[in-house]
Structure 1
Amino acid sequence: MKVQLQGQLVRLRISEAELARLQAGGTVENLTRLPAGLALRQWLRLGKGSQPELLVGDAQGWGCLLPPAELAAYVARLPCREGLRLRLPLAEGAEDAIEIDLEVDVRDSVRSRGVPKR
């Protein structure tokens, strides 16, 4: 999983193999080890509800539970450049939010699925 952070937008790009792992109920993660024993960790897993959930796993990282129906609708569009955009409010009733763009690598998707018919 590749991670790109900019302000309140987190872009997560995964491969077709990582997508298959997610769909099978597994976890996809990125771990970056830093000096002094610090680490940054992000992970994705399928949830059970209809809304995405952002979870703090520990002091070193966070994870997101993906809504299965939204992921399935996104997978049905592959390969495509537009990702699955998830919006998570920072607090109950808050207008501020963190947005997560989940994308399957287009080149990997075309290799696995072929070119979409127009």
Structure 2
Amino acid sequence: MKLQIEGQNLRVRIGEVELATLMAGDALVSRTAFAQAFTLTCTVRLGAGDTASFSGRADTWQIEIPEAAVRDHARRLPTREGLKFILAGTGDADALKLLFDVDVRESVRRRRSS
């Protein structure tokens, strides 16, 4: 799982093996130690609702992506389009744009070499 942060944009990019893990009902966990300063843990799981959610603390993130949207997205792969969600903040400027996408380059490479 790759996390990219730029301003109020958070991109979660996973591979196809990780997608299979999510769709099997398991969570994805990423852990990064920032030297001796602190450790950041991000957990991504599928949820039953229609909207994505973000919760946790500064060093422990919980992201929930709607299961129906992820399953629909998986049926359309390969695609360059990811899932986009706007998560409300305390004000309009604090809203977080969450992009979730699946990197299919590995399976595309395998198909081309076959």
Give me the TM-score of the superposition, normalised by structure 1. 0.82
Corresponding residue number in structure 2 for 1:66: 65
Q: Which has the higher strand share?
A: 2
CA contact (8 A) 1:86 1:99 kept: yes
SS of equivalent residue, structure 1 residue 44 = strand
CA contact (8 A) 1:79 1:106 kept: yes
Gaps of 5+ in 1: none
Corresponding residue number in structure 2 for 1:29: 29
Corresponding residue number in structure 1 for 2:54: 54
Instruction: Determine if the alignment matches structure 1 residue 17 to structure 2 residue 17.
Output: yes
Taking only aligned residues, the RMSD between alpha carbons, in angstroms, comes to 1.9
4+ runs deviating over 3 angstroms: none
Q: Determine what percentage of the aligned residue pairs are the same residue.
A: 37
**Matching of residues 97-108 of structure 1 within 5 Å:** 97-108=95-106
Q: How many residues align?
A: 111
CA contact (8 A) 1:81 1:106 kept: no
Cα distance in 1 for partners of 2:32, 2:60 equals 10
